[in-house]
Amino acid sequence: MNPVCNPYAPGAGAQPPELSGRDALLHKATVALQRIASSRSARSLILTGLRGVGKTVLLNRIRQDADALQLITVRIEAQEGRSLPSLLAPGLKSALIKLTHGKKVSDLASRSMRALATFVSAMKLKYHDIEMSFDIEPESTTPIISDLDENLIQLFQSVGAAAFDQKTAIILFIDELQLLNEKELASLIMALHIAAQDLLPITLVAAGLPQIAAKMGKAKTYAERLFEFPDIGKLDPESAMQALIVPAEKLNVRYTKTALKEILQQTKGYAYFLQEWGKHAWDLASKSPINERNAKDATIHALADLDASFFRVRFEQLTPMQKHYLRAMAELGDDSVSSGEIAAILGKKVTDLGMVREQLIQKGLVYSPAHGETAFTVPLFAAFMKRNV
């Protein structure tokens, strides 16, 4: 069918034509944010899940909902090698401009901008990736210390108080949270924790790979009390079907039952894969309904595409030893496996492989769901390894 009208949207962070199966979570998020905005205690959300399950899309939608509620949102994407202050400061500056825009600016609001200027000038001493300037002078009365903990606490207190004063909340949205270094993550959580104790309306909603929960727990034991860590998984069969059917129906196109069955079976309900299969099935079908033959052909095309891009880019960052390790894991299937089993296949001792495993966790390809266990962060990666290596 006409590819110009193809409704599906495979791609990182691409808004899906139908955001399926996430209503309960969206509701939970807006309740929590509204509670925080009205200085009531609530746990914010850290969305964790494998690659391509729809974390970024969900985070973006929660942010749009927060914007609609007139909350002030700050959008940040963590990046390898970038410091937290350099990521945080520009967005926070825009947020503070929004906070004061068109309003009778209270003392607190103008003080919060000064607090940010102070934060930036202190952090510039320590982090060299901050490029920002302010029209206002930093607070000269506060001695400049370059300790992140202390500066972040001061900053959030000031910004939180200003948001409270303006009857709103500042919500930081951080994607790829696992890329923040552990120390900076700990500082962030502590500053938010202290603000939460004073019921100040500033909080974090974030998304990242499954290793975040452990990383945050390690960073600060009270992270668990500050945040919920919903596991964003594959879509249940009903939602997966809706993700395919609803966008097509809007264009008067149907699927046969057997076509849906084939796609669900192949994609296992993973959001990104549903978009890929939907896209190919649409392009391959000559007319409605999209049938089983189209779905089967879509499987061939989608797998070829994934092998050439989604899986391949990840595979190509690996050293030969890392590839061996993942190939051995693939032999054991898609589920979490024990380090012992992998070592046995490679004919090595578990301790000899500790380093490779750690490197793969750092690269975000595997994570540790439980002590001594290892699992892929990329769904269906095992099958890819088996097809290609």
Ligand X SMILES: Nc1ncnc2c1ncn2[C@@H]1O[C@H](COP(=O)(O)OP(=O)(O)OP(=O)(O)O)[C@@H](O)[C@H]1O
Instruction: Give min distance, CB of 242 to ligand X, in A.
Output: 8
Instruction: Give min distance, CB of 81 to Mg ion, in A.
Output: 18
How far, in Å, are 183, 280, 321, 378, 389 from residue 345 at the CA level? Answer: 36, 37, 14, 21, 15
| 272 binds, options Mg ion, ligand X, none, Cβ within 5 to 8 A by partner type | ligand X
Element (H, E) at 11: none
Instruction: Give min distance, CB of 15 to ligand X, in A.
Output: 6
Told to check if 275 binds Mg ion by CB under 5 A, we report no
Instruction: Give min distance, CB of 377 to ligand X, in A.
Output: 8
Which of these segments, 41-49, 56-64, 83-91, 281-289, binds Mg ion (CB under 5 A)?
A: 56-64
How far, in Å, are 35, 97, 323, 350 from residue 339 at the CA level? Answer: 43, 51, 15, 6
d(CA 210, CA 196): 25
Name the residue with the smallest CB distance to Mg ion.
Answer: 56
Q: Is the peptide bond before 17 cis (omega within 30 degrees of 0)?
A: no
Told to check if 56 binds Mg ion by CB under 5 A, we report yes
Which residue type, as a one-letter code, is found at position 156?
F
Closer residue to ligand X, CB minimum distance, 20 or 121: 20
Closer residue to Mg ion, CB minimum distance, 55 or 114: 55
Instruction: Give min distance, CB of 21 to ligand X, in A.
Output: 5
Instruction: Give min distance, CB of 365 to Mg ion, in A.
Output: 15
Which of these segments, 48-56, 86-94, 239-247, 296-304, binds Mg ion (CB under 5 A)?
A: 48-56
The site for ligand X (CB under 6 A) is made up of: 9-14, 16, 18-22, 49, 51-57, 243, 271-272, 274-275
d(CA 116, CA 103): 19
DSSP secondary structure string for all residues of 193-245 = HHHHHTT-SEEEEEEE-THHHHHHHHH-TTHHHHEE--B--PPPHHHHHHHHH
| 52 binds, options Mg ion, ligand X, none, Cβ within 5 to 8 A by partner type | ligand X
Residue 167 backbone phi and psi in degrees, to 5: 55, 40
Closer residue to ligand X, CB minimum distance, 164 or 272: 272
Told to check if 48 binds Mg ion by CB under 5 A, we report no
- DSSP letter at 14 equals P
Enumerate binding residues for Mg ion (CB under 5 A).
55-56
